[in-house]
Structure 1
Amino acid sequence: MSLYRTELRRLIKRRFTRWMTLAGVLVLLAVLAGVFLTNHKIGPAEQARAERQAEQQYQEQVRRAQQERTACEQAKAAGTPNTDRRFPPECEVISPPPRDVIEAKWFLPSTFDFRASFEATLIPFAAILALVGFVVGASFVGAEWSTGGMMNLLLWRPKRLTVLLTKLAALLTGLLTLTLTSAVVWTAGFWLVGTLRGTTAKMTAGAWQSFALTGLRGLLLVLAAAAIGFALASLGRHTAMALGGAIALAVVGQFGVGILLSMANVRFVEAWLLPTYALAWMQKKVTLENWQSCNNASYFGECKPETLDITWQHSSTLLVVGLVLMLGAAFWTMRRRDIS
């Protein structure tokens, strides 16, 4: 019997895998339903309503400006001192804003523009599936160690590295299938949202290519998270090793380091945090701003903060190095340590 098929079947039949996958799918469906319910299709009726509301807002501004100007003129006529500086020296400067300043689009309901908004939805999609992949990957190998299944398996197939690599291949294959299937449903769902609750206009081949590349980066992020969870659990020979390491990294390594660096007034604190690199990987670039620096102030005193760009190349370097170190350590310990 093929070891790969056996491991793939074991992955699929595990109850934890099924329940965790179901939980991730339900969260994705909840996000999709939330976007559907909070958006509306813009038609002539909505546009006319927005125009009326914009006109009402403008008339309200005109009324308030007239009231303030009248109060200013009365105060000047009565000789009331302007100690609170409520009114300007000349009452004539009190006037309503231009009509074109108040735009009707401010009053339109939220609508889903598929071309403009779909790419942003791939970020939570990848994040949710990456979490599922990390936990499933850690549990898949961690349960084998804690229950003694790994020792029994090695009696059948004594080649340690082959067994561990086959388990990893089965895990990545399962997550690849799950992610691709979910991506198709996710895209179709948001296309439906755009059709019924927004617009799908202006879609071009270039837009689809951009979505595909972002989705590909999301897929690689999911597989990388699963491999990291797998490696950590293999190193600790228990699922808790991976989960505990992830919690420690999130609480101590992220929040703790962030607070410490902020107290030390370090520039670009976000550059030391992993979520920044995950976001840069998905968005291709994240620009950090240091508002404590005004090194390019204009003649009128405008502050232009110092910036730092974190690109997907930086993220890919960090991701590859982390994967190589963790998987390398997992395979090395699997080869060197006793199985007991």
Structure 2
Amino acid sequence: MSVHEGVDDSNETEAAENQSAPADGQRATESETRPLQVSWAKLPYLAAHHPGLPVPTIDGLGVGWIHKVCDRLYFFRSADHFEPDITVPIAESQWRESRALAGSIAESLMLGTAGLVEVVWLEEGIAAGELGAAWGMGQRYFADALCETSIAVGHRLINFVARMMRTDPETQQRMDEFRVGGQKPLEPLGTRYMPFKTEERNAWLSLNAKTISQLRAIASPQTDLAAAVNRLADLEESAEWRNAFEHRAENFHRWRREHEYVAGVDQASGGAQDELDYAGNVSGKRFGGSGARYSAADGLGDQAVVNARSGLEATARAADDILTHILDALSDLTRGMVIELTGTGVRVSRRRGTAG
């Protein structure tokens, strides 16, 4: 596993530490005890597929239950013969689009679980000395991806719930009429919405407190759907979701700090120092010496892993609970037609005493 590291792009070397002679007045022992950092590193690939490393398993990691959540979502997605109104064209079925969302959620949760295996695999390889410290960058990459996956699943969950809500015609009318400050934020999901065809940005919701409040305002008295909306709120308010959300937000919208392994740039790192005059104002710059160690990302890799796993687990639990609430709501939404998940598949039936 060759990792290319160096001082700069014009002098590429293997494992060239960013170390130089101590500055005037600085003891050499300080430089010798400072942890080494390379200027940059290039990984030839990301995952830890190495013959000396046993493969972690999802059961060994304690997340096998997420695959069971995926199975339930996949079974729901597979209920192709579930359509309460046989006169609705297949291509315009809200039930069909909602099942498509369930399948998408399942696939992302499955991929996130596989990504967690890669995170732990890299962690164990570094700890065992089979992989160098530079592979912590690969570990953080997978952790970043897990945070992004969890946020994406959360956004799909609120759209899943909103589309199950709008299977009720009266709820569609309330979506049309609901106003906030002269605006109609839910109108794109109302009577003019077309499953599989409407791609208007406002018809696809983001998981946040404001949107949850709007769904609560137009929700029908159907208690199981109200419980699904409340479960969305529990997820959005949880520390696990918010930590993953903030990690993603920093990467997407602010300064994504380089990995702590390399000598990246922060306010104090490197060999440049300000020269100050008698009043404490900057009067020039001094260059050279061993410089200050880049430390802005210290501990970030480990924290990213924590945020990634907890965010994935919190989102998967919410997905499982929301699916249960939706299954419980079906009888009222469809005048008795239900989907039963059997553990090995799906069964569609109509409860006795209900009209077709």
The alignment's TM-score, normalised by the length of structure 1, stands at 0.30
The alignment's TM-score, normalised by the length of structure 2, stands at 0.29
Greater share of residues in helix: 1
